[in-house]
Amino acid sequence: MKLTVVTLLIVVAFVALLMAACGDDEPEPAPAPQPTAAPAPQPTTPPAPAPAPAATSAPAPAAPTQIPASIQPTAAPAPMTSADAPEPKNDMGNIFFAQSDLGCNPGAGSVFCAQYDAVAWGVGEDLFTWRWRDDGTVEYAANQLATAWELAPDGLSVSVDVRTDAEFHKGWGTMTAQDVAWSYNQVNPLITKHSIAPSASYFSTLFGENPAVVVDDDTIEYTFAAVDSHWHTYMMNGNGFVGMVVHPERAQEENGEDWMRENFIGTGPFQVEEWIRNDRAIFTKTGQHWEFDPAVERIVIQEMPEDATRVAALRTGELDATELAIKSVPEALEAGFASTGSGNASQQGIIFSGNLWETHNALTGEDLNTPANGVYARDLEWIGNPYSPNDGNNPDALACPDGADPMQMDQSCGDMEQARLVRWAVAMAIDKEKINEQLLNGLGWPVHVGYADEKSEFWDTKWEYPYDPAMAEEYLDKAGFPRKGNGVRFAMPLFISSGHTGGLGEEIGDAIGGMMNDIGIESAVLKYPYAVYRPGLVNRSATIPRLTAGDDGQTIYPFDWPKGIEESSLSRGGYCMCYETEWISEIYLGVAEENDAQKRIDLNRQYFDNMHFWALKPGVVAVPNLTIYNPNSIEEWVMEPTPFGTSAFWNIVPADR
């Protein structure tokens, strides 16, 4: 067991973080760029593929990846005491946990449901997972249902051996290679056309139309559509924000997909007894897992949308653990509760969907007919139209001269420059420090460009957006949107999904809305379930800006990983951030096929140079992922590393009562 080291990393780090309130000083903001001129970007053409690595029969060890400095242990914590925490109302061995929302049962692989939670919580499993190393770094390609793999010399296919001792829940037999291959094919929308699974677009990018093929009882052959250096650390890894859950094919053959939607059958150490969307889920220990024998018998997950309700239920002993809005954490710790976490903070930012600038699919070459997309049916102030840059409402000073390419950084003009100025104005109007101090009690830190952590050794201050409302107003004036008689320039809504970041997202959205109003942008904050908004992301019709971390906006992700697959045509067929640019596709593919870490880093620097200039996702604040628990219920809880908020119920050590 590695409980001592990992506990020091997680519990000490988060307690130190919370009690010290992140004392790092932020660098001085870089000067705002001139609105119509910028340095020419570095070439974004991906390099020629490096020599492929030699085949291996087991995952090559990843380079040690340090947990972000912001959540490294900085001092020994004060001794934990449970004197002030309440007496639990639940029987020992029964853990009642609450979060702001509970998605639908991910029993069918093709549906958009809570499959990531299913893996993190311990009812479902994938081929690979993340695990802590004894030195406190992360092993991003630890075997889970896989036992070994062999990558082809060209990096375009892999043979994976799978476990022969993993038992499906509720008597559905021993897992086979056929079950694994079938489950993967169920997610890929190019094979299962109706799949809208969270990983659908990633699988269509990784595999294309190539199905997973069974070689024998415990071996599967996967053929990739393109080389991807994080195929097993991210793509085929349920802990990495992509991946999937392995289900028994026979269960769907005998009962149908509708039955699977309501009946979760996986291989984890817990099995699902009940799962009611927007209400509760109940898991029980199977007692037959191939690796873990949990010390708790039953987990009840309750949806509680209001943070105040979760706080009250924790204080009365009705809850044993919960996710709280980060602002509520210090008071909970002072009251005798304890905290744990998975080593991550989510980088919240504003996503400007609708900026579809890519004309052809980067993998297939298919003409996307982008100029005819409905996002351009109306001229929206924050969406640049490169196909009609001189659209009649741009100031003369922004007009594109003959021969200009408005999609080039050094030639940005017309509608593209007008919309860029608007997005920059939004970025400069957000008081990130104030949001962090008032809504996060100073426990987070500013984010300037999503997917880049300001506390990373690779952060460059040139990617900052200064807080400067006066300059923001100047940019809006230059863009041709002066204040009208009522003080309003134009209206721009902002979408926040219900329960976002434990309910804190709605408050952050309200704060941003007020800051937008201060510079003359009338901003209605729309709050409703993400499932209602998501279809527009799949069909590329979304135009309302939204607050989110996106898939790659996690501080636990290494800087040299490929970034932005969901920001490009590479994700066609599934979810997107719903801006698409050719340079994102080129850089992503270049990083994915590059074996040299320094070259991957250099390419990603180009990505952030471009992203900063175009301001497609200006950041707001990083929110640490924490879970609060009652030490009278739980003696110790070591979570596994993951970008998700709560993980590893199987590691809970119940407190003696």
Which amino acid, residue 330? P
> Does 652 score more than 50 pLDDT?
yes
d(CA 630, CA 89): 11
* Mean pLDDT over the full length of the chain: 86
Closest C-alpha to 59, from 154, 130, 110? 130
Minimum mean pLDDT range among 2-16, 136-150, 436-450, 623-637: 2-16
> Does 37 score more than 70 pLDDT?
no
Range ranked top by mean pLDDT from 24-28, 463-467, 563-567:
463-467
Q: CB of 593 within 8 A of CB of 155?
A: yes
Query: What is the pLDDT, as a whole number, of residue 184?
Result: 97
Work out the average pLDDT over 209-218. 96
SS3 144: coil
> Does 25 score more than 80 pLDDT?
no
Comparison of pLDDT for 571 and 14, the residue scoring more: 571
Reported as a pLDDT band with limits 50, 70 and 90, residue 327 is confident
Reported as a pLDDT band with limits 50, 70 and 90, residue 68 is very low
Q: CB of 620 within 8 A of CB of 434?
A: no
Give rounded-to-5 percent helix, strand, coil for the chain: 30, 15, 50
Query: What is the pLDDT, as a whole number, of residue 637?
Result: 97
d(CA 369, CA 382): 21
Query: What is the pLDDT, as a whole number, of residue 83?
Result: 59
| Phi then psi dihedrals of residue 424, to 5 deg | -65, -40
> Does 305 score more than 50 pLDDT?
yes
Comparison of pLDDT for 605 and 137, the residue scoring more: 605
How is residue 492 written in tokens? 């721009």
Q: Work out the end-to-end distance of the chain between its first and last CA atoms, rounded to an integer number of angstroms.
A: 24
Work out the average pLDDT over 232-257. 93
Closest C-alpha to 301, from 282, 274, 276? 282
Burial category of 146 from C-beta neighbours within 10 Å (exposed 0-12, middle 13-18, buried 19 and up): buried
**E strand or H helix at 553:** none
> Does 66 score more than 80 pLDDT?
no
How is residue 69 written in tokens? 């400095």
d(CA 113, CA 447): 28
Burial category of 468 from C-beta neighbours within 10 Å (exposed 0-12, middle 13-18, buried 19 and up): middle
> Does 613 score more than 50 pLDDT?
yes
Query: What is the pLDDT, as a whole number, of residue 70?
Result: 35
Minimum mean pLDDT range among 78-87, 122-131, 152-161, 165-174: 78-87
- Tell me the per-residue pLDDT of 393-407, one tens digit each, with 9 for 90 and over: 899 999 999 999 999
Query: What is the pLDDT, as a whole number, of residue 501?
Result: 81
Minimum mean pLDDT range among 109-118, 155-164, 506-515, 583-592: 109-118
Work out the average pLDDT over 31-57. 33
Comparison of pLDDT for 268 and 79, the residue scoring more: 268
Query: What is the pLDDT, as a whole number, of residue 498?
Result: 85
> Does 573 score more than 60 pLDDT?
yes
How is residue 247 written in tokens? 């289900």
d(CA 306, CA 625): 17
Q: Where in the chain is the domain with CATH 3.40.190.10?
A: 61-344+625-654
- The upper half-sphere exposure of residue 404, i.e. CA atoms within 13 Å in the direction of its Cβ, equals 21
Q: CB of 478 within 8 A of CB of 395?
A: yes
The packing angle between helices 177-187 and 200-207, to 10°, is: 110
> Does 31 score more than 60 pLDDT?
no
Q: Where in the chain is the domain with CATH 3.10.105.10?
A: 31-50+346-624
Query: What is the pLDDT, as a whole number, of residue 241?
Result: 75
- Tell me the per-residue pLDDT of 355-366, one tens digit each, with 9 for 90 and over: 999 999 998 899
Query: What is the pLDDT, as a whole number, of residue 528?
Result: 87
> Does 572 score more than 90 pLDDT?
no
Reported as a pLDDT band with limits 50, 70 and 90, residue 267 is very high
Give the global pTM.
Answer: 0.79
Query: What is the pLDDT, as a whole number, of residue 614?
Result: 98
Query: What is the pLDDT, as a whole number, of residue 368?
Result: 94
CB atoms within 10 A of CB 429: 26
Minimum mean pLDDT range among 59-63, 163-167, 458-462: 59-63
d(CA 403, CA 414): 13
Percent of the chain with pLDDT over 70: 87
Contacts of 474 (CB under 8 A, 6+ apart): none
Which amino acid, residue 513? G
Query: What is the pLDDT, as a whole number, of residue 69?
Result: 36
| Phi then psi dihedrals of residue 534, to 5 deg | -60, -40
Query: What is the pLDDT, as a whole number, of residue 54?
Result: 31
d(CA 104, CA 112): 8
Query: What is the pLDDT, as a whole number, of residue 43?
Result: 30
Reported as a pLDDT band with limits 50, 70 and 90, residue 503 is confident
Residue 628's beta-bridge partner residues?
A: 322, 339
Query: What is the pLDDT, as a whole number, of residue 82?
Result: 53
Q: Which fold has domain 31-50+346-624?
A: Dipeptide-binding Protein; domain 3 (3.10.105)
**Cα–chain-centroid distance for residue 647?**
15
DSSP state of 593: T
Query: What is the pLDDT, as a whole number, of residue 129?
Result: 96
Work out the average pLDDT over 224-249. 91
Q: Which fold has domain 61-344+625-654?
A: D-Maltodextrin-Binding Protein; domain 2 (3.40.190)
| Phi then psi dihedrals of residue 602, to 5 deg | -65, -40
